[in-house]
Structure formats: structure tokens, C-alpha cells
Structure 1
Amino acid sequence: MDSLSPLVQTWLQWDQDPTTRAEIVHLRDTNALNELERRLRNRIEFGTAGLRGRMAAGFSCMNSLTIIQASQGLARFIRDKRPEIASHGVVIGHDARHNSARFARLAANAFIAQQIPVWYFDEPSPTPLVPFGVNHFHAAAGIMVTASHNPPQDNGYKVYSSNGAQINRPEDGEIAQSIQENLEPWSTAWEDLQSGEYLHANSYRELLPHYQSQVAKFTKSTVAQWQHPRPYVYTPLHGVGGLVFPSLCHSLEIEDFTSVPAQEKPDPEFPTVKFPNPEEAGALDLAVQAADQQGKTLIIANDPDADRFAVAEKVEGEWFLLTGNHVGVLLASHLFDSLDPSADCSSNAVLTTTVSSGMLGKMAAAKGIHYTETLTGFKWMANVARELEKNGKTVPFAYEEALGYMFSPVCYDKDGITAAAVFLAAEAKWRAQGLTVFAKLQQLFTEFGHHETLNNYFRSPSPQLTLELFRGIRGGSCLAEKQFGSFKVLRWRDLTEGYDSGTPTNKPDLPEDPTSQMLTLWLDGGVRFTIRGSGTEPKVKFYIESCGASREDAIKAVCDTFLTISKEWVQRYTPSMSCSDRLPTSSGHVLDVQ
């Protein structure tokens, strides 16, 4: 206990939240040394555009004190390193999770202490309104308190830079250093948020009409003639989308829809779903029930902070859940069709991530549109989009496979509200052409090849086990002999060690990151797959894609690739890692891995 006593003393000296103080006191009094060690020895890491983790007492968790510390560090960073824009203020929003409103108020105190104005949202808000607000108010930064689609016990602190995009290197490292230098709570840190010259308390109500107007304007710009979509069921999965999206639909004169009653209001417990993520199996079960009861054949969904968007359509009596790649290429097709066919399209650019489908690149090439791949996450795509715009490009769209879609005319982050509105406009247009959503997707496959994907993960209980897997892969025979099971390896890229066998200099065309694990292989037969360690979850994720002349060919190649990953890598180097027993491919084919 001797080595922990200073940490316990510091915590109790700084923390004024009765709940979390009591947690540490109880752990101290019951001599729970292992738990105290886990809670207090290491700090929650500032990265991936901010903080995210379980809400509990301790420096390693999300709580009032770590929110205060992060906010003090960010406030001092803006005051010291960005003094020319500090007076522009920061936008602070929050979702409807447990403690989100409290965390937002405590964050605001730090900026007010530095005489930095705060554009404060006093109501729960969808995440996209914060990056939209950064640009609308020309703010120095933005903060969104949210854990997106994580379980109820989690929360997060997402940070945007002055360009409206999530912070990225090296800014995140500089902010992390500033946090370390400002850990002790300032004198006003724990005070109730007070009105004053630096607090703009009505910012959300001021901003929301501008956001909705911009979304409606952009949505209508994508069609020559506005038409109404078919009747549909909407679910915000107990999140904040239900506070905004239905009213947006009414403003677009879209009236023939219903919300899932049990899920339409925010509820931080997410009581009707195991995981509040529309990608997860079962998340849309209540929406399916409602649609079947009402005779509707279309479902649209947002995740709890409404930055992601999902679609399901009833096809020949069965519900088909579209993947993020499906929705991404469908939205891109719709936007491409809205461009002037007689104009030079080379000034336009679209982006996706290296783990998303390569189909967007083929579609862009056919139109003469610039195409760029980035690392995973919108902190990369949004900042690359900003750079492309500086060089004269227009970037109307970017997407990633994890149900995220960005429309730069609205904001520089994934935006599930705008995605839903644009998708409904596209659906109405296709319906007028006699096409369902599924039929339009098949039409694109006919033109650009059938793209089949299998994205999932192996459970990795520790970072050390993840590291063992990648060490085994790098030291094994596969890469050296360029043979992966029955596949020939045409090219491989290691962004951890900065190597790419397919470039003249053997340097990758994407930024390397020694702090994460990520490998991509290109195989014969039109297969590409990436395997990487997750930065936020105990998982090793894999993303497999095959392009074939037929659905059957593409499915076989994807399944063979997964089975080889499992046998040649995971079972050989880390047999304790596990995966789901049944894995669905993007077309609904289920691979039984038992």
C-alpha cells in the first residue's frame, strides 16, 4: 500500500465528486490493492481525437476529475499556443449518456477560467452539430462529450480543431502534454457553471436551425426534382437523433414515417438493445418488428449520438441489412449523378479509408473524380479533405465502412443525420426509376464487379496478446515467402514498421504509426485484407474484400481468406484469441467457423 498511498492522497485531495471519492475511499479501506493500482497508477490516454473509457473513479477512467484535467490542458493549450484565435471560443456539446451534461459543464469552467468564450449546448445534441458549430462560430476548438455507440457504462471526450475536423497528429500530442502540465484542478474547477460574458448558454437553440437549414439545402441540391421517399421506420436507438431527425424530415415535407416507440427518446441505459450499435446483431430487431407490423419495407437508424447511419430493406420477404460499404457506394453514386455531366469532374474529390471498399475508387475513376485513401477514422479523412480543398478540390463526400459518412458542405466529421436525409432523397429518386435500394446496389455491382466483404474481429484480452500475434506474423514464413495458404501474396504493407513491398522505395503511401499494429495484404484473385489492433476496444479487427465476376466467386474468396487468417496466423501464434462462431458476409452468406 505504501507505493499507492501518494496516489490515493492526491486523488482525494483533487476530487470533489462525492461518488468517485467514495469509490476510492472504499477501495482504500478494503485494501483492494490490485484495483487501486489499476485505477490510479496510469492515466487514461489522450488520443484517438480525445478520451474514451469506462466511467469510474481513478486517473485511468472517465470521471469528473479527468474531464477537468483534459479541459484545463486544452484550455491552456489554446491560450498559449493559439492566442490569435482563443477569443473565438470553443463549442461544447454533449449527448444524453450518464454524466454527459455534468462533464460538459465542468469542461466549460476550464475555458471560462482562461477567459475563452464557450458556445455551450445546454441540451443533448447529436455529435455532428459540434463540428458544424466550430465552423459556424469560427471557433478555436470543439468538444463533444459522448461515447457514441459504446455500452452504457462508458463515456468519452471528443475534440475538434479550429478547422472543424477531429484533432490529429501532432496537435493531439501537444494537447496531451498540456494536460500533464495542468493536472491540479484550478480554483473554479468544481464550481457550478455560472452565466457571464464568456458563457453563451443558448448556443444550441441558436445553432440548430442553421444546421437543419444547411442539411436540407444540401440534400435538395443532390436531386433535380424533390420527391418523397417510401414510408419507413426510424430508430435513434435510445439516442439523440430522435430529438433532431424527425423535425428535419417534417421540414423536408417527409411525413410518412414512424419511430420505434420504445427507442425514440434518449435513455442512457439503452434498455432494449444489448449493444446500441446498428452494426451489431439484434440492434434493429424492434425496428424490424415495427416495420413488419406496419407493412413497411425500409428501416433507417442512427447510433446513440447520431453520427452513424444504417439502412435495412426487405428484399423478397427477408430483411437485408446494408453494410457501411454498401451505403457508401450508394450515396456516392447518387452524388456523382447530381454532378453536371458536361462539366470536368476532376476538381471533385472523394475519400475513404484503407479498410473500406475499393469500389469507390473504381466509381470515381469512371467519372474522372479524384480519389484518395486514408488511414482509418475521420480525423484522417476530414483533415485530408481540408488539404485537398486548399489545393482547389471540392470534396463533397467521404465515408468509412463503420457506417460513417461525411458531407463537407455540412461538416467535417461523420454525420448520421445528413446521411439519412441524403439517402432518403436518393431512395425516392431510385424508386421513381423503378429501382429498390437493393436493385440499385446490384446495378452498381454489375457495372463495377461484385464486391464482397467480411469485417469482424478476434477478441484479444490484452495488448500484449495483440503484440504477440503481430510479432508472429512478421516473423513467420508468409511474408518472406509471399505465400498465404493457397493464395499468392502480391503486395503487403506494414504501417507499424513503415514498409510497403509495392512501392519503388518500399515506403508506404500512408502515414506510419509505430504505436499501433496494422498490416494489409493484396492476394491473387482480387482479394485485399487488413488486420489491425483496435485502439479503443480489446479486439484485433480484420477487413476482407474480394471483387469477383459473380457473387459466388467473391464469397468463396472472402471465406477462404478468413479461414486462412484463422488457421495460419491466429491459431498458430495466439490460439487463445477467439472469434464469433458464425460470421455473415456483406451479402448475408453466413460462414460457420466451428
Structure 2
Amino acid sequence: MDNDIATTGDIKLDHAIKQWMRFDKNPKTLAAVRGMVKEREVEKLKRCFGARMEFGTAGLRAAMGPGISQMNDLTIIQTTQGFCTYLEKSFPDLKERGVVIGHHTHTICALHCIPSQTLCWDHGDSLSQPKTGQWLQGLLGEWSSDHPPHDKGIASAIEENLEPWPQSWEEHLAQESPLVKDPYQDINREYFKAIQEVCFNRSINKSSEVKFIHTSVHGVGHAFVQSAFRAFDLRPPFAVPEQKDPDPEFPTVKYPNPEEGEGVLTLSFKLANKEGATVVLANDPDADRLAVAEKQESGQWRVSQEMSLAHCWAGGCFVAGSRVSDSTKVKEVYMLASTVSSKILRAIALKEGFHFEETLTGFKWMGNRAKQLLDQGKMVLFAFEEAIGYMCCPAVLDKDGVSAAAIAAELTSYLATKDLSLSQQLKAIYDEYGYHITKNSYFICHDQDIIRQLFERLRNYDGENTYPKTCGGFTVSGVRDLTTGYDSDQQDKKAVLPTSKSSQMITFTFSNGGVATMRTSGTEPKIKYYTELCAAPGNSDLKQLKMELDDLVDAIVENFFEPKKNNLEPKPE
């Protein structure tokens, strides 16, 4: 069979295939690779073996399937082996601390005599990502291990430990090992105890008659959101029955992500109309994100990231009112957001006097910064990212769709006592602090050379080391390039935020108040763009602002992306 493999004409690719067939013991993935080799399916082999998964903003993420570019038994074993090796080097007391595992890779830890805490074992339940993160904080004392320079160190350790260790495939060893513990009940209890601290008005919650719909989109969120509502003394939400139980096939949705908008929420709207509910809360499958939709007077549903931001921000205000006392000055309060997120918090901070900080994209950056501030005795009240991710409770330094759902319901219940809707609350925020409207999307591109050329063109637009001065009819007033470290707004022209030459990210500021960031995805073949138009308080011509933002986006797509020339695929509808 080895002789048959060397057919691609690519020595590196052929080596990767041979190595895989020597290491893999899963009959399904091994058979799939052998089938591709037999049929000489070179393009498929290139997709499976062309490049190993890399750390992105969310760690390692890929589709399930054979090969080093996808999630499967062998890549998980290799990753865990490298991770264990790296942790042993980084934490001398690792064997006293132990590690947290979201699923069954305990065997490898046990082989290294590392105690492991499993969060989904005998009982068949799975924890949400935020609760896994909370437990990890307690054991290692450091959140976000894929934060630089750890990400590169872990990646190197994985490459150095590709051959499965003896007995790595013997999963039964973990079940028999005294080193493997199951803290499920403990973490469940401690988590809901922790989020109760951000519950601000139980009396209103108990008496509220507001009806909510919740969907976990075939993920793990159902039981946890029900428990979170009980922890807040809220009436339990109606669950979308077809979507409340975990199902990896996601049979009722095309894309199992509430970021995609109304298409994911069709069944939720149907149930809401039946039960007379006006608010839908939707978690993504691992329950770390939350989307909110509200029924308008017209009968149409409004689902937007601004809606989620409005309720989470307002919730934060109420929490602040109960937690920020005379002994805690406003200047000790911090709120965080990723650099591609809405600038609404910055506008609020300027007026109210608290601190607002931006970080790079991903909650690993916000989580680490939040921990630094908490260690300094500061109050970190809230953090968010544009992709409907919110950190509403300092006990979990990560985005958490479960606590966010309870806070959203609590805020909605409070507003109901004032005869206000979420949409009306959002308008009040915009009226006071200025409209901040966003429009984000992406293009698909599988060719890394095209992506690199696209960004290099922007860096040499009118000659070497020059950036665009205009985009269509819009004037560029500032450029920040976090790939090269250039920032035109800084006196020394050096960016303040960390830079990375391995990823592409350029932000353009426009004279009309618009901001646009173009970046590559660390986990998917996408070029993403995030745009926002910020208006001064008192400018209430929302229709005109939206038209202006649409024109700006059109100009950016036409002049900076050049989708036809670069053969870019638009975001699927």
C-alpha cells in the first residue's frame, strides 16, 4: 500500500499520508484515507493532509473527518499528547494541579500520571464551554492557554509528539485509572451559585409574567438555561422541543449558529406565536453564545447583535447599581470588547467615566486581560465580542451564553414593569450615547496565495508601503495594521495592540465616522469584514445612517476585496 501512496507528486503530502496510515487505528478514518488513495483522489487528499489544524481565536476547530486538517481520533490524541508535554514543561506542579478535559482524552493524561477532571463521563451529560472554562481556571489558575506565546509552544509540542504513545488508543484505561475524577456535581453547584451574584432583582423576577422561548439549537444548553432561570427565580422558558436535545446532525437547521439570524430561529418563532411569547433566547450548540430576538409591534421579529448588546449592557448597568458602592469608585470599573466589536461601550465609557479597553479578537484575550484587572483589585463588569459572545459574570472569564440568557430575561422582566421593550431600551441607549450601527460578513477563499496577495495589495496600494487614502467616495483618515504593527494614529506609528505576522488584520477609519476591519479567520477559509458607523448623540436619522453604511460597505467590497478578480465566494444565504 505504501508504494501506492506516492502518487500525488508532492513529497510532503505523500509523507503525511504514509505517516497517517501508520498511526491511525480508527477503522473508519483509515478506510476513508485508503479509499482516497486507491481512487487517486488527489484534491481530497490535499484538503485532508495539506496542512495541520492551527490555533485560531477559538483554539483548534475543524470539521470531523480523516487527515491532519480535520478533527478525528488521531488528531485529538496527537493534540493531547503535545498539550500534556507542554503543560508539564510550563507548570512544575502540574501533577498536583491536574487538568480539565471536556471529553474522553483521559487515557493520555493517565499515561503521564496527570490527574484529570472529566466534565462528561458516566452520567452522559455534557457541560457548556463556559463551565468547562470555569473549572479550568480553578485548577491551572490561568485561563486561555492558547494565548501567545503558549499557542506556538503547544503547536510545536504537538508536532514533536505525533506518534501515539503506547496505549494511547486504550480508552478503557482511563475508566480504570484512579487519577480520573468526575467533578460534574461540584462544578454544577458552584457555577449556579456564582451566577446568582449577578442577579439584581429577585422580587421582579418572581412576579414576572413575561414569557420566553429558548432554543439550544441541538446543543447542550437546554438543561443549563433551565437551571439558570431557576437560580434567578424566573419562570422557566418554553423550550423548542425539536431542538432541545443534543444532536450532532443538527437536523432542523442548515447552519447551527444563531449568528446566522432568522433562518435558525424559525421553529422558535413558531413556538413563540403559539405560546404568546415576545422574546426568543437562542444559544449556539456549546452554549457560550447568545442571540436575542424580540417580536415587534408589526408582528415581525427583530434579531440583531445590537439587540443582544442592548440587553447585556443595560443588565450590566443594573448590576453596577447594586455592586458599585461608595467604596468602589467608577474609575475602578472596567468593561472590555474585542477590537472588531461595536464601539458603543467606548462612547458610554467616555460619558459615564468608567474604563473601556479593546483587546484582540477572541475571548482568550479578554479573559486574560480581565484576570489581570481582577488581580489588581479592579471590577470587570462586562466583556463582549461582536459574534454574540458575552461575559457577564467574573466567575467565568469567558463568553457564557447561559448566564447571559438569565440576565437577558431578567432585564426584559424589569423593562416590562416600566412598559418598555428591548427595542425601546436600545433606542434610548442610542439617543443618549449616539447610534452605532454595524454590518459584518465574510467571503470564502480556499487559496492562501490569493488571500496574501489581497492584503499585500492594500499595504502597497499607491506604491511600496502605502495604504489607500480613499475608498470609493469615502476618505480614509487612519490605518492600523496588526499584521505589520503599523498604526497611523500613534505618534511613533507603532500599534499598541499585539501583532501577529501569521494572521492578516487591517483596520481602516474613515472621516465620516466609519470603521472597517478586514481579517482572516484562524479556523476557517474566510476573509471577514466588520464595519460600523458611529453617529453623535442627537443624530436620529437612522435610515440615512444605514444607507451611508451600506454605501461604505459596497465601496469596501468593490475596491478592497475585488471579489470577482480574486474569485471570492460570498457568504452563503
Mapping 1:307-326, distance limit 5 Å: 307-326=288-307
CA distance in structure 1 between the aligned counterparts of 2:91 and 2:336, rounded to whole angstroms: 29
- Aligned ranges 1:77-96 → 2 under 5 Å: 77-93=86-102
Q: How much has 1:520 moved relative to structure 2?
A: 0.9
Q: Which residue of 1 aligns with 2:210?
A: 230
Matched residue, 1:139 = 139
Change (3 A) 1:321 1:537: farther
Shift of 1:244: 1.7
CA distance in 1, matches of 2:518, 2:303: 22
Map residues 8-47 of structure 1 onto 2, 5 A cutoff. Answer: 8-47=17-56
Alignment of 1:96-107 (within 5 A): 104-105=103-104, 107=105
Task: Pick one of 319, 329, 335 that aligns with 1:350.
Answer: 335
Question: Is 2:533 aligned against 1:543?
Answer: no
> Where does 1:268-307 land on structure 2 (aligned, <5 Å)?
268-281=248-261, 282-307=263-288
| Matched AA of 2:106 | A
1:262 counterpart = 2:253? no
Deviation at 1:320, TM superposition (A): 3.7
Residue matched to 1:521: 508
Match of 1:367 in 2: 352
Instruction: Tell me the amino acid that sits aligned with residue 542 of structure 1.
Output: Y
Q: 1:581 to 1:226 in 2, by over 3 A?
A: closer
TM-score (norm 1): 0.87
Q: Which amino acid aligns with 1:167?
A: D
Question: What CA RMSD, in Å, does the superposition of the two structures yield over aligned residues?
Answer: 2.3
CA deviation after TM superposition for structure 1 residue 329, in Å: 4.0
Match of 2:499 in 1: 512
Q: CA deviation at 1:392?
A: 2.9
Select which of 164, 171, 178 maps to 1:185: 164
Counterpart Cα distance in 1 of 2:395 and 2:493: 38
Q: 1:564 aligns with which of 552, 555, 565?
A: 555
Going from structure 1 to structure 2, the CA distance change for 1:314 and 1:13 (only over 3 Å counts) comes to same
Measured against aligned partners, the alpha-carbon deviations of 1:411-460 in whole angstroms (never above 9, x if no partner) come to 11110001001111111111112211111000001101122111111232
Supply the AA of the counterpart residue of 2:317.
Answer: F
Q: Given residue 124 of structure 1, which amino acid in structure 2 is its aligned partner? A: S
Alignment of 1:386-535 (within 5 A): 386-477=371-462, 480=467, 482-535=469-522
Relative to structure 1, the CA distance from residue 567 to residue 45 in structure 2 (aligned partners, 3 Å threshold; closer, same or farther) is closer
SS of the aligned residue for 2:534 comes to: strand
Deviation of the 1:176 alpha carbon:
1.1
**Aligned amino acid, residue 136 of structure 2:** V
- TM-score scaled to structure 2, two decimals? 0.90
Q: Which moved more, 1:457-466 or 1:413-422?
A: 457-466
Letter in 2 for 1:111: C
Partner in structure 1 of residue 319 of structure 2: 338
1:586 is matched with: none
1:113 aligns with one of 111, 114, 136: 111
Say which SS state the counterpart of residue 139 (structure 1) adopts. Answer: helix
1:552 maps to 543
Please list the CA deviations of residues 369-418 of structure 1 after superposition, one character each: whole Å capped at 9, or x if unmatched.
11101111101111111222233321121001100001342211110001
Quote the Cα distance in structure 2 between the aligned partners of 1:30 and 1:439. 60
1:163 aligns to what? 142
Q: Is the 8 A contact 2:54 2:522 kept in 1?
A: no
- 2:543 & 2:453 partners in 1: Cα distance? 35
- Point out where structure 1 has 5 or more consecutive residues left out of the alignment: 94-103, 141-161, 583-594
Identity of aligned residues (%): 34
Query: C-alpha separation between the residues in 2 aligned to 1:307 and 1:389?
Result: 22
Return the alpha-carbon distance in structure 2 between the equivalents of residues 184 and 48 of structure 1: 27
1:25 counterpart letter in structure 2:
R
Question: Structure 2: which amino acid aligns with 1:541?
Answer: K
For 1:51, what is the secondary structure of its paired residue? coil
Q: Which amino acid aligns with 1:133?
A: W
Query: Contact 1:469 / 1:574 at 8 angstroms: preserved in 2?
Result: no
Paired residues, number: 546
Is contact 2:393-2:403 (8 Å) kept? no
The AA in structure 2 aligned to 1:574 is K
Name the one with the larger strand percent: 1
Q: Structure 2 CA distance, aligned partners of 1:167 and 1:241?
A: 25
Contact 1:468-1:573 within 8 A present in 2 as well? no
Write the distance in 2 (CA, Å) between the matches of 1:571 and 1:296.
44
What is the identity, as a one-letter code, of the residue corresponding to 2:546?
Answer: I
Counterpart code for 2:432:
E
Question: 2:459 is matched by which residue type in structure 1?
Answer: R
